[in-house]
Amino acid sequence: MQGTKFTSGASLEADAENVLRAITPTLDPNRHKGQAGKIAVIGGCREYTGAPYFAAISALKIGADLSHVFCTKDAASVIKSYSPELIVHPVLEESYSVRDDEKGVISGKVLAEVDKWLERFDCLVIGPGLGRDPFLLDCVSKIIKLARQSNVPIVIDGDGLFLVTNSLDLISGYPLAVLTPNVNEYKRLVQKVLSCEVNDEEAHEQLLSLAKRIGGVTILRKGKSDFISDGETVKSVSIYGSPRRCGGQGDILSGSVAVFLSWARHAMTDGDPSISSKNPATLGCIAGSALMRKAASLAFENKKRATLTTDIIEYLGRSLEDICPVQ
Ligand SMILES: NC(=O)C1=CN([C@@H]2O[C@H](COP(=O)(O)OP(=O)(O)OC[C@H]3O[C@@H](n4cnc5c(N)ncnc54)[C@H](OP(=O)(O)O)[C@@H]3O)[C@@H](O)[C@H]2O)[C@@H](O)CC1
Ligand SMILES: Nc1ncnc2c1ncn2[C@@H]1O[C@H](COP(=O)(O)OP(=O)(O)OP(=O)(O)O)[C@@H](O)[C@H]1O
Ligand SMILES: [Mg+2]
């Protein structure tokens, strides 16, 4: 991204610390469990158990009250064993465990299990460690449709992006959808939606038109700087992160964006005038990106080359505390 039009515009840089301060709720003794956020991650299969864990535990470490994971049966006991804090639902099925003649019934059961909970969630994160099994992705398409009907915000990452890039109708025109593509995922989106290649000379305009063409979703393009657009504006978050590119940092980000998006919506409902005209999805992305990068830089200061995703997660709390101290 260096040397592009995109990075040269200093005015693009978001005032991330003030966004974090505006949307982070105070710790009020009158609040009950759940009011600081109930998040669910849809992801976790035979191959990947780390990614949904990272997303779900990050949500808790930032300050959400409850974090659920909906994953396959194979992944569930593994994810539970990482943490007793997570509520894990072993409901998803992959093709290898389902006969063709059972698919309709099983798909109905998966949907019913998720639907029981759906309206209680403030945000879903769809995709970390989901895998690409066609039957499983078909069930997840139906979950996305249900979430839309119930106006539940969704953050789409990892294999969730693989799914929606091939079925854009799932999210097109849904302003409560956030896409968090990495370099590969962004390339696939641009190719599919704009029928061209990524153009870093016109990166700002390209991101705007991508968000506009998909129809009002918010896109957080991850990279050396993160760029965020809802089709109306473009913002960047460039605060220093970490030079370590260990896997899992995007998963932290997706869980963080889910919490901050929920908090931003609550702050707006509470009538905070400093953010009343803003898009909560954009605010959630700015806050999530800034916090993830700050935590990564603190972890790197301490662990250098040995920095891993679990180390970064340990710094999420302190990073938020530095910006918004508990009163
Ligand atoms: N500890 C964990 O559990 C972690 C798990 N993680 C989880 O991993 C998943 C993939 O995410 P990622 O970031 O590796 O995807 P990305 O950069 O597009 O791909 C890199 C290359 O791999 C290939 N490829 C990927 N999946 C494929 C498949 N099923 N079958 C075939 N090819 C596949 C891909 O090829 P292409 O898509 O271009 O065809 C590209 O060349 C996702 O669920 C994520 O959450 C991460 O969050 C890290 C920590
Ligand atoms: N070159 C970089 N310098 C600093 N931070 C970066 C750089 N590249 C990515 N990041 C940060 O790391 C986080 C994850 O981005 P990344 O592109 O690694 O996602 P990802 O490939 O989806 O990760 P994951 O391994 O979890 O799937 C983002 O918050 C982004 O800001
Ligand atoms: Mg990723």
CB 191 within 8 A of CB 162: no
Residue 185's domain comprises 33-323
The CA distance from 316 to 56, in Å, is 13
Kindly report the protein residue whose alpha carbon is nearest to atom 15 of ligand 2. Answer: 250
Distance 48 CA to ligand 1 centre (A): 10
Residue 288 lies in a domain: yes
Q: Which residues contact 16 (CB under 8 A, 6 or more apart)?
A: 237, 239, 286, 287, 289, 290
Ion ligand 3 neighbours, Cβ < 5 Å: 158, 250
23 assigned to some structural domain? no
- Assigned domain for 168 exists: yes
Distance CA 250, CA 320 (A): 18
What is the DSSP annotation of 98-112?
S-GGGHHHHHHHHHH
Ligand 1 mutation target, pool 82, 166, 184, most atoms within 8 A of CB = 184
Span 56-113, pLDDT tens digits: 999 999 999 999 999 999 999 999 999 999 999 999 999 998 999 999 999 999 999 9
Statement: residue 173 has pLDDT above 70 = yes
Residue 9 scores a pLDDT above 80: no
Residue 232 gets which letter from DSSP?
S
Cβ of 221 below 6 Å from ligand 2: no
Task: Answer yes or no: is pLDDT of 166 > 90.
Answer: yes
- Percent of the chain residues topping a pLDDT of 70: 97
| 34 annotated as belonging to a binding site for a ligand | no
Over the stretch 180-239, which tens digit does the pLDDT of each residue have?
Answer: 999 999 999 999 999 999 999 999 999 999 999 999 899 999 999 999 999 999 999 999
Q: How far apart are CA 117 and CA 298, in angstroms?
A: 36
What is the CA angle 169-221-181, rounded to 5? 55
Q: Does residue 187 line the site of ligand 2, with CB under 6 A?
A: no
Q: Tell me the pLDDT band of 269, cut-offs 50, 70 and 90.
A: confident
Q: Which helix (H) or strand (E) holds 125?
A: strand 123-126
Ligand number nearest CA of 51 is: 1
Residue owning the nearest CA to atom 12 of ligand 2:
249
- Domain-located, residue 302: yes
Cα 144 to Cα 132, 151, 307, distances in angstroms: 16, 10, 34
Q: What would the mean pLDDT of 30-56 be, rounded to a whole number?
A: 96
Write the CA distances from 14 to 69, 175, 318, integer angstroms: 31, 20, 21
Any domain includes 21: no
Cα separation, 289 vs 71, whole angstroms = 25
Quote the CA–CA distance of 314 and 298 in Å, as a whole number: 10
The pLDDT value recorded for residue 159 is 98
Please check the confidence at residue 275 and state whether its pLDDT lies above 90.
Answer: no
124 assigned to some structural domain: yes
pLDDT band for position 1 (cuts 50, 70, 90) = very low
Alpha carbons 254 and 59: distance in angstroms, whole number: 9
Residue 43 has pLDDT above 90, yes or no: yes
Ligand 1 nearest atom to the CA of residue 184, by list position: 18
Q: What are 261's two structure tokens?
A: 């998006």
Residue nearest to atom 25 of ligand 2 (CA): 247
For the cut 90, the answer to whether the pLDDT of residue 139 exceeds it is yes
* Domain assignment present for 28: no
What token pair was written down for 196? 């061209």
The pLDDT of 250-264, averaged and rounded, is 98
Q: What is the CATH number of the domain that holds 260?
A: 3.40.1190.20
Angstrom distance (rounded) from CA 14 to CA 227: 10
Domain count, the chain: 1
pLDDT of residue 248: 98
∠ Cα 41 317 79 (to 5°): 35
Q: Does residue 6 register a pLDDT over 50?
A: no
Residue 68 resides in a domain: yes
